[in-house]
A and B are shown apart, each in its own frame.
Chain A
């Protein structure tokens, strides 16, 4: 690459894009009350929200993998009537305002919802205002990111390896496990990280579906939102904490996994 002329216009446009992401960060750092940061972050509200956010977002990312990978495989490999409709429905949460998604979840799985009411009557369990409501809302908004990423990888996969394994007598599930999954591993990791990141930052669907209670359903984004009105320094400190956690996780995963990616994202 060295010595070859680079199209300056691309670099200029890329710099504008970088500025768009860096400027808000500078704004945040500029108003951060550095001397009181430790005390603000040691607050019980912040600690509770951090613990809740970390485990609910990781649980959601796990559920996204568990259900999203099979879904991506079905969308990519099984031909059926209405496949493009299902694909559109699955990606809907990426387009829908999260508040609308949360309200829709409430109408379906709330205590008076079409599924939620029988669930409440039979087993006495309901999602809203519980930590499982947070996990469900997170999974709802995050899974499309995993499905889209993994389906893309599956669709661009050369079918010859799977065909060879099958002709050598491997069962379909063995082919999937031993051939398909390893070949799409980089995309699967990328999709799982995207899903985690989306779940970690989720706000609208969570507050609408699961409510807001410290220690039970108040994740970091909700803590930022309710603090912003009354205790702005705390809100800024929590925002900074979210940025720090996200950058650490994204960079750690990128250097550990994506640097050795044989195909797909990263290099």
Chain B
């Protein structure tokens, strides 16, 4: 209760600096793509250990987050799985100068034990399997479409999930035989998901941009978090989670 009042008070006195930078008090709200859910929690913990700013995270599909920011959601930092959504926000002058902080590979994920015996991307044309992808509107769905085009198969998908997390969870519990997800999702699954490489020559590199929201009321603190993610400590945490360097 005391904490809450303090936060409310700090929010009401915005303009009165709490850290000497003209920032309002209160936590920095980070909007993060679904595929960043795990790593952003690690980044948050590491940042909070060296900075007295509180980080709050809201994770969802990049495109949904983009719409929320366009509709005035009080985010301070945006980190997406796709440069397209970020470009739209740049055009609308809603974010400052984004930087790519990570890359990711796409892969085939099957449940532990690979019960359906999926061997390659070609199995995505098999009607009798239960196969999944992301909806085309979210980045992982767009990347999957590119992959199917490159390989030249018509996928027999049984579901197009609204974000990559709901897709990976359905593979992990064995309801789907295979799905196209990010390589980092397989790494973060503790063995619930097994990755099957795409054919050599078929690769789509997902780029993750990060930026401070233009009308953030904590721009200095938000910039410190972005710098931390782009810096060496952020890099090593991202490395550990399997995200490539830009």
Interface residues of A (CB under 8 A from B): 106-107, 110-112, 128-129, 207-208, 211-214, 216-217, 225-232
Contact = CB atoms under 8 A, between A and B. Distances in A.
A212 B67 contact: no
Interface stretch (B6-14, B32-40, B166-174): B166-174
B175 A230 contact: no
Contacts, number: 63
A212 B135 contact: yes
B64 A229 contact: yes
Interface in B173-205: 173-176
B158 A211 contact: yes
A229 B61 contact: yes
B63 interface: yes
A225 B162 CA distance: 8
Given A112-B174, A232-B67, A212 B160 contact: yes
Given A226-B135, A232-B67, A212 B159 contact: yes
B140 to A, nearest CB: 13
27 contacts: A106-B173, A110-B174, A110-B175, A111-B130, A111-B175, A112-B174, A128-B130, A129-B130, A129-B176, A207-B162, A211-B159, A211-B170, A212-B135, A212-B161, A212-B162, A214-B160, A216-B158, A225-B162, A226-B137, A226-B160, A227-B137, A228-B64, A229-B61, A229-B63, A230-B137, A231-B137, A232-B67
B175 A112 contact: yes
Given A110-B175, A227-B137, A129 B158 contact: yes
Given A112-B175, A217-B159, 14 more contacts: A107-B173, A110-B173, A128-B130, A129-B158, A212-B135, A212-B159, A212-B162, A213-B159, A216-B158, A226-B137, A227-B137, A229-B63, A229-B138, A232-B67
Interface of B: 61, 63-64, 66-67, 130, 132, 135-138, 157-162, 166, 170, 173-176
B216 to A, nearest CB: 22
Given A129-B130, A211-B132, A232-B67, A226 B162 contact: yes
A212 B64 CA distance: 16
Contacts of A229: 61, 63-64, 66-67, 137-138
A129 B176 CA distance: 9
Contacts of B138: 229
A213 B63 CA distance: 19
A229 B132 CA distance: 20
B61 A213 contact: no
Nearest to A209: B175
Given A207-B166, A225-B162, A213 B173 contact: no
A158 B170 CA distance: 50
B175 A128 contact: yes
A264 B175 CA distance: 45
A229 B34 CA distance: 14
8 tightest Cβ-Cβ pairs between the two chains A and B? A211-B159, A229-B63, A230-B137, A129-B158, A112-B174, A226-B135, A229-B137, A110-B175
A225 B161 CA distance: 11
B174 A111 contact: yes
B106 to A, nearest CB: 20
Contacts of B170: 106, 128, 211
Contacts of A225: 162
Interface centre among A112, A211, A225, A232 (most CB of B within 10 A): A211
